[in-house]
């Protein structure tokens, strides 16, 4: 009886609380493969200078060496954690030059192949900026909410191990768990949540929610980081898709810089259309050297990427081959250490560009094809489930 109730529950909530637009779901996976390759086959490997990758790697390794499970897993493959931990401890001691040599000697690149295809879509995100104050007053009239006091989350697998590992969000009303408030309902004041800051521009707050984090400049010039705390569990609908569907912008104007300009120029219409995205993000003030990703670590500009963890385990060392918005090649080592509601698929990545106006311009225009490789220890036993 419990299983039937839970299965009904998952069908109801998944039909209305998807984390991404239905049209953005990847094609059905009929075949998943890790295709063994070599460093000589990686475009640009000879020019890799390591640089800030060292920071991202050491941050991730500081987490991975503390894990106690036996395997690093995705839905499609697994490999031994102990092999990775051994190399993490050694790599943390090496200089950039020695680190590259060590990786060549002890790791093997595997191309990720889904349905016979190594090519996928690569977008980018950045750390937004806004102006805010701790107190409401003057131009600071727009709330930035912390995690609601009545937000409840469950995981179906906690009730039945045969059910999907699916996080669902809601609130309790009359003894029943129901969907959480939509963006429109939040705007109408139906929310029990602390206000962590007051912003001066609703468009900047909206863009911060899309990006997940921001640097807030206070009236005295002090800068603080605002990070992701949680979300309302509702389906995400991109503002670009909304404006395109309504004919309010042209296809060539669908980059984030141009969308931001349109929103700032169209007050009431902008608000009306922003409310059509039911997904709402809650935030918290954080102390870190960068925005915090899904592993609880600060993201490193140009060296961190969001992936679909159903395919790529968080903490994986990756080699990325794609191009930026101006067609300049991006061939480099990155760490898979974040996720995103629209980042779905076996070959799909969201490249973290960094902070500031240049990062905003590049991230807002990047939409490229590319491929990536996962670098696995030579001494790790790799098992593919496909």
Quick one: tokens of 346? 């076996």
pLDDT confidence of residue 27:
59
pLDDT surpassing 90 at residue 72 = yes
Between the CA of residue 309 and those of 95, 208, 280, 385, what are the distances in Å?
A: 30, 23, 22, 15
pLDDT confidence of residue 7:
41
Nearest in space to 352 (alpha carbons), one of 286, 293, 279: 293
What is the per-residue pLDDT across 108-156, written as a single tens digit (0 to 9) for each? 999 999 999 999 999 999 999 999 999 999 999 999 999 999 999 988 8
Q: Which residues of 235-251 are buried (b: 16+ CB within 10 A; e: fewer)?
A: bbbbbbebbbeeeebee
Place 17 in a pLDDT band, splitting at 50, 70 and 90. Answer: very low
pLDDT confidence of residue 157:
84
pLDDT surpassing 50 at residue 82 = yes
The sign of the torsion formed by the CA atoms of 28, 386, 57, 293 equals positive
| 24 secondary structure, DSSP code | G
What is the per-residue pLDDT across 19-67, written as a single tens digit (0 to 9) for each? 333 334 555 778 999 999 999 999 999 999 998 999 999 999 999 999 9
- In angstroms, the CA 314 to CA 310 distance is 9
Cα 236 to the chain's mean position, in Å? Answer: 13
Q: Mean of the pLDDT values across residues 275-289? A: 94
Q: Are strands 77-80 and 383-384 parallel, antiparallel or unpaired?
A: antiparallel
Identify the three-state secondary structure at position 158. helix
pLDDT confidence of residue 19:
34
Q: Which residues of 319-349 are buried (b: 16+ CB within 10 A; e: fewer)?
A: bbbbebbeeeebbbbbbbbbbbbbbbbbbbb
Average pLDDT, the chain: 90
- Percent with pLDDT over 70 in the chain: 93
pLDDT confidence of residue 252:
81
Burial of 313 (0-12, 13-18, 19+ CB in 10 A): buried
pLDDT confidence of residue 107:
97
Q: Are strands 304-307 and 329-338 parallel, antiparallel or unpaired?
A: parallel
Q: Answer for the pair 213, 288: CB distance below 8 angstroms, yes or no.
A: no
Q: Which residues contact 92 (CB under 8 A, 6 or more apart)?
A: 58, 61, 62
Cβ count within 10 A of residue 88: 21
- Give the bridge partners for 340, in sequence order: none
What is the per-residue pLDDT across 332-380, written as a single tens digit (0 to 9) for each? 999 999 998 789 999 999 999 998 888 888 888 899 999 999 999 999 9
- In angstroms, the CA 131 to CA 215 distance is 8
Between the CA of residue 165 and those of 75, 177, 248, 288, 309, what are the distances in Å?
A: 11, 18, 39, 30, 12
């Amino acid at each position: 009886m419990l299983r039937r109730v839970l299965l009904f529950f998952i069908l109801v909530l998944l039909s209305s609380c998807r984390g991404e637009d239905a049209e953005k779901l990847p094609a059905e996976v009929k075949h998943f493969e890790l295709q063994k390759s070599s460093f000589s086959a990686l475009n640009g490997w000879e020019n890799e200078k390591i640089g800030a990758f060292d920071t991202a790697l050491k941050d991730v390794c500081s987490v991975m060496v503390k894990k106690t499970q036996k395997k690093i897993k995705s839905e499609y493959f697994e490999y031994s954690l102990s092999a990775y931990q051994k190399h993490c401890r050694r790599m943390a001691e090496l200089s950039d030059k020695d680190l590259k040599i060590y990786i060549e000697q002890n790791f093997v690149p595997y191309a990720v192949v889904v349905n016979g295809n190594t090519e996928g879509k690569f977008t980018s995100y950045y750390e937004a900026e806004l102006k805010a104050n701790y107190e409401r007053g003057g131009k600071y009239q727009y709330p930035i909410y912390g995690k609601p006091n009545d937000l409840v989350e469950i995981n179906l697998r906690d009730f039945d191990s045969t059910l999907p590992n699916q996080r669902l969000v809601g609130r309790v009303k009359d003894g029943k768990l129901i969907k959480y408030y939509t963006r429109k309902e939040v705007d109408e004041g139906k929310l029990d949540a602390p206000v962590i800051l007051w912003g001066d521009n609703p468009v900047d707050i909206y863009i911060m929610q899309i990006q997940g984090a921001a640097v807030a400049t206070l009236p005295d010039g002090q800068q603080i980081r605002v990070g992701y705390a949680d979300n309302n569990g509702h389906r995400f609908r991109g503002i670009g898709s909304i404006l395109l569907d309504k004919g309010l912008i042209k296809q060539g104007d669908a980059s984030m810089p141009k969308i931001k300009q349109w929103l700032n120029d169209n007050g009431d219409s902008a608000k009306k259309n922003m409310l059509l995205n039911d997904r709402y993000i809650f935030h918290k003030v954080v102390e870190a050297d960068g925005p915090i990703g899904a592993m609880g670590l600060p993201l490193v500009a140009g060296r961190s990427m969001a992936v679909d963890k159903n395919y790529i385990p968080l903490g994986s060392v990756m080699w990325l081959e794609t191009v930026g918005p101006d067609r300049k090649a991006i061939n480099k080592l990155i760490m898979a250490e974040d996720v995103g509601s629209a980042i779905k698929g076996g070959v799909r990545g969201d490249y973290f560009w960094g902070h500031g106006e240049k990062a905003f311009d590049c991230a807002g225009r990047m939409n490229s094809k590319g491929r990536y490789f996962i670098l696995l220890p030579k001494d790790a036993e790799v098992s593919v489930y496909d």
